[in-house]
Amino acid sequence: MTVVSLVLVLASPVGVFADDAVDQALASELDLAIETLALQDLSPRDQAYLYFLQAVYGHAPSARDRAVERYRQLDLPESPAFLGSLDILQARDLGRRGALSGWLHVFTERRFVAQGIEKLDAAVRVYPDNLDIRIVRAITYFQLPSLFGKFQVGLEDMMLVLKWVQDGTVTVPKEERLFRDQASLYYYAGRYFSKAGQTDTARAMFVQASQASARSPFAHAADRRILSIRAAS
């Protein structure tokens, strides 16, 4: 099975989460790379994912709507998880309309986040061994502010995925044109462990991300994380 490593940089639906400089640079690099992909060369499943990436990094509501439409049409086991992430993405986009607009939309934003969480958790309950769903939920929950209480759930998802990889239950490619690969997986694993205060483990994850593919935006971001850890030690 090939990992579908979701690449999300979601801001808080109520404006309390800010992307740091490394993730901002990662998003810009990914956005440029995404623009080079030709939709007609992709399978329907990958087309849906490409629209999703465009919505995340290009902040394009039209792409978000197309991604929702595609995942509903495809009716894949992981479709509800992606649709849940898209709900949370819509909350993020509402929150980025400005402070006044953000507060005016706060209840709508919270409703979208609640819907997204419900869909993600339901998908895991129905398909607990589905790697794609675990990845979608883990990386989405990493970006949620602590007030939603989902960090530990996402960390456990990530640790489970890493165990599957170590056991050989799943195979993760070193490189993949939609970035569903080792560099992205280990980068987000490093982000989780770093946030959990496990600096040594985080550094090891970033090293694996860096070594997976020298051309990957995630490898470049991992290199910056490694330098930051060294500077802080």
Tens-digit pLDDT profile for residues 52-79: 888 877 777 889 999 999 999 998 999 9
Rounded mean pLDDT of 18-31? Answer: 85
pLDDT of 152 reads 97
Mean pLDDT of 82-110: 76
Q: What is the pLDDT of residues 169-223, one digit of tens each?
A: 999 999 999 999 999 999 999 999 999 999 999 999 999 999 999 899 999 999 9
Give residue 26's pLDDT.
92
Domains of the chain, CATH where assigned: 21-232 (1.25.40.10)
Query: Do residues 59 and 93 lie in contact, with contact meaning Cβ atoms separated by under 8 Å?
Result: yes
User: What span, in angstroms and rounded, lies between the C-alpha atoms of 99 and 18?
Assistant: 13
Give the C-alpha separation, 51 to 35, whole Å.
Answer: 11
- The pTM (predicted TM-score) of the whole model is 0.88
Tokens at residue 189, please?
């694993």
User: Which of 125, 176, 178, 184 shows the shortest CA–CA distance to 158?
Assistant: 184
Give the DSSP per-residue string, 17-57.
----HHHHHHHHHHHHHHHT--GGGS-HHHHHHHHHHHHHH
- In this predicted structure, the answer to whether residue 123 has a pLDDT above a threshold of 60 is yes
Read off the tokens for 55: 């919505």
